[in-house]
Chains A and B, each alone.
Chain A
């Protein structure tokens, strides 16, 4: 028996592998989008798929997002399982009507007769020095649309697992891929990819007793760094990685907050009307008697995404997270 050494792989490679494995396992899986074929995608996430499976299975489409998603709806109606790439977060907006009015609703409209197993991959978020319209955190729009699942990986293994689960799901799933983690590496054996977990489960990435940082996607590494830095202040922070925004894992989140009694939600998306408000409300409704302080939010400012030379002031960083932790009414304890 040979043991395969764990090799570092990037999140982008894990996503590619997830599509590759799904396409090999199921001939109804089709990838379509702008530049996904010959070029392999602007982030190379579909690299090699057209070569391996042919242009009919991995298709360069015309440059029209509503058309891409709209034709994917028709393909799904005929029994295919389309995986659509939206090139960038802010370029996915033309497809919004198809997503909201058809992708999200058709199962319901037809009383379950016509589910649409469509995966919509959206590279999202900032921190890559992109010029405007290349760094939006658009998750709140998707979360506010009943009928969609919304997931976002923060680790290499989850990128594989969540994308496989999304493609396997009979419901439409929006997979938000944190662009700035595309090239993050982790020890992950591509020959033995992790078991595919069901959608909808959060995970505790770091155990702690003092307070819970609730986060996802691109903010997970920042929160883990903040948790390390917090040790110097005497705080032992727990970090929960949501992984799935819809369905929301109240159970894992609330179990953590009940243990620690304090919580900060961290995300890049604008705070007002953002996911943090929903999460704070849910935690407040369910854990009120366990809370030592109001649930705080560390979010992007309520501004259009800044130009790249100013984005570091916008993105939640370690200091801003630690400031929030410091405001969790510690004096009340004594």
Chain B
């Protein structure tokens, strides 16, 4: 026996037996997206809610068409349409209480409008006369986020802050399938679960991140499955079934409000239009795929249910369309007016008080404008 061997073998005390920190089974999404329309479950649905959803879907479709038309007339710089995704947009807006917060991405102006925001204000970013056209606190709608998934940690922080203050506030954050690949998606879900923040993440899986299909985006069984890794439930829902989306989101919001923590919802839907008016979707997807999704249109699905239950007749459909036309006419008229522009605004809100350097630059621009006017 060597000197060192005389010390005896090093026998560390065994670590405590390992087991998972939580049981992953209850967090797993269902095998199929949740559906209500066309199933027995639809019969128990609230007619008033169904009619409300229908009216908003019809308005939403018309809003998307009008906004797209405004790009062709040069009244919008760009428009990322949510045509085909109206059920998600509308349900997200309708499940929230007034005091709750919505965190939209650039494709979610419809959700903001359905929440009560003036469409002209919602479209300010896309018209290009300013970045955010509204006071986020007025309707509890965060600024439209153009950098992908960066709005998700904001939703978590706001929900956490509300909880710290003892306020009964839930945040609902919208993100697309492409956004789930971003680091901020991961960090936001992790923070939300660790803090048990009252937040709901709605992924609208519309099949494409501009041109890149989901298969090139992730190898996960579904985007909803990603929830399990964070220790929160993942829910899978048919994103074109407005009642199903509303039900799943309402459950998640209720759970968050009751202190149950965050939920990740994946709504399976389809972007019927191109990424924006500047995109050509025929370069990356086949027409028959689009047609197949048109046959699963959110408005048609709800309309069929409503008419089958005699909750909607031709007159009702006409009334919804007329209401949507009136909204579109008003939007068109107001968007056809040139927005007021004040170049001095460029310096007004960079800081609470302009720095000495910004004051100098403001004077420079003021002088340039004066010279321009004299020259004109």
Contact = CB atoms under 8 A, between A and B. Distances in A.
A323 to B, nearest CB: 32
Interface of A: 30, 56, 61-62, 64, 66-67, 69-80, 82, 94, 97-98, 101-102, 105-115, 146-147, 149, 169-171, 200, 246-248, 250-251
A176 B362 CA distance: 28
Contact of A200 (B150, B154, B186, B355): B355
B51 to A, nearest CB: 34
B299 interface: no
B168 interface: no
Contact of B158 (A66, A77, A115): A77
Interface string B346-374: 00111110011100000000000000000
B136 interface: yes
User: Chain A: interface secondary structure?
Assistant: mixed
A98 B132 contact: no
Given A70-B152, A70-B154, A71-B191, 15 more contacts: A62-B187, A66-B183, A71-B157, A73-B154, A77-B157, A78-B158, A78-B162, A97-B184, A98-B184, A101-B147, A108-B349, A110-B135, A112-B348, A113-B135, A114-B143
Nearest to A59: B195
A111 B132 CA distance: 8
Interface string B129-173: 011101111000011000100101111111111101100000100
Contacts of A72: 157
Nearest to A110: B132
Contacts of A62: 187, 190-191, 194
A75 B155 CA distance: 9
A111 B165 contact: no
A110 B187 contact: no
Most A CB contacts (10 A, CB to CB) among B135, B143, B155 go to: B143
B188 interface: yes
A67 B158 CA distance: 13
A167 to B, nearest CB: 14
Contacts of B160: 71, 74-75
B167 to A, nearest CB: 8
B357 A64 contact: no
Contact of B135 (A107, A114, A200): A114
B230 to A, nearest CB: 10
A247 B162 CA distance: 33
A171 B352 CA distance: 7
Contacts of B345: 111
Nearest to A32: B157
Contact of A149 (B136, B137, B190, B351): B351
Contacts of A56: 164
B143 A107 contact: no
Contacts of A115: 352
B149 to A, nearest CB: 9
Contact of A113 (B136, B165, B184, B191): B136
B150 A78 contact: no
Nearest to B165: A78
Given A71-B157, A113-B136, A147 B351 contact: yes
Given A67-B184, A71-B160, A110 B143 contact: yes
Contact of A70 (B153, B349, B356): B153
A122 to B, nearest CB: 19
B335 to A, nearest CB: 19
Contacts of B132: 109-111, 113
B161 A64 contact: no
Nearest to B345: A111
13 contacts: A66-B153, A67-B188, A70-B154, A74-B158, A74-B161, A97-B147, A97-B184, A98-B153, A105-B131, A107-B350, A107-B352, A147-B351, A247-B356
Given A62-B190, A71-B191, A109 B131 contact: yes
A108 B165 contact: no
Contacts of B157: 70-78, 82
A246 B357 CA distance: 10
A66 B187 contact: yes
Contacts of A110: 131-132, 135-136, 143, 349
Contacts of B134: 113
Most A CB contacts (10 A, CB to CB) among B132, B153, B156, B164 go to: B153
Contact of B150 (A61, A82, A102, A149): A102
10 closest A-B pairs (Cβ-Cβ)?
A: A74-B157, A70-B153, A67-B187, A71-B157, A74-B158, A247-B355, A78-B161, A109-B131, A74-B154, A113-B135
Given A67-B153, A108-B350, A246 B355 contact: yes
A111 B348 contact: yes
Contacts of B186: 64
A94 B7 CA distance: 48
A35 B350 CA distance: 32
A105 B135 CA distance: 15
A35 to B, nearest CB: 15
A247 to B, nearest CB: 4
Contacts of A66: 153, 183-184, 187
Nearest to B154: A74
A113 B130 CA distance: 13
Nearest to A247: B355
B362 to A, nearest CB: 13
A82 B156 CA distance: 14
Nearest to B183: A66
A75 B164 CA distance: 10
A109 B153 contact: no
B349 A112 contact: yes
A64 B150 contact: no
A97 B187 CA distance: 13
Contacts of B355: 200, 246-248
Most B CB contacts (10 A, CB to CB) among A30, A67, A74 go to: A74
B150 A109 contact: no
Contacts of B136: 77, 110, 113-114
A249 to B, nearest CB: 8
B134 to A, nearest CB: 8
A75 B190 contact: no
A80 B154 contact: no
Contacts of B350: 107-108, 146-147
Contacts of A112: 348-349
Nearest to B133: A111
